[in-house]
Amino acid sequence: MRLTVSAVAVAGAVVSVAAGPASASSSATYYGCPYGAVCLYNNADPNSGIQSGGVYWAYGPHNLSNQYGDHYVVNNQYGGAWVELCTGYNGTGRGESIIFGAPYGSVENLSPINSIVLGTGNNYPCSPP
């Protein structure tokens, strides 16, 4: 009988330990954008919801397609990471905006934007193709 009670106690401890990090990470969201990510929203209002496929985690360029008009863009990365909006594909063209900090969001006209780049440091990649 003791073995069963101990097994239940251990299982309960594992469940409570597993629940801790999940609740901590969900509190770091900003308008639904997970901590460490950049998010594009359906329109200029952050309450419009994040676009399908609109959560970006990896540093480097991400090409966009069929993005027109004003959209809310959130940079919820950490450690001084930024997101730059570029007029060309693959992080080329002219840089239209750089959004710093976590969390920070702004309304951006994505009509001339064909890619976004996530990165750190002082080397902003949008440059002529």
Query: What is the pLDDT of the chain when averaged over all its residues?
Result: 81
Are residues 37 and 6 part of one domain? Answer: no
DSSP 47: G
Are residues 13 and 56 part of one domain? Answer: no
> 27 pLDDT band (50/70/90 cuts)?
low
Are residues 54 and 95 part of one domain? Answer: yes
Residue type, 13: A
116 strand-pairing partners: 62, 85
pTM score, whole prediction: 0.76
Alpha helices in the chain (DSSP H): 2-26
CB-count exposure of residue 73 (10 Å: 0-12, 13-18, 19+): buried
Please provide the DSSP assignment of 69-86 as one string: SEEEEEE---TT-EEEEE
Q: What is the pLDDT of residues 53-85, one digit of tens each?
A: 999 999 999 999 999 999 999 999 998 999 999
- Total count of domains within the chain: 2
Are residues 90 and 38 part of one domain? Answer: yes
- Please give the structure tokens belonging to residue 93: 């063209």
Domain around 87:
31-119
Give the three-class secondary structure for 41: strand
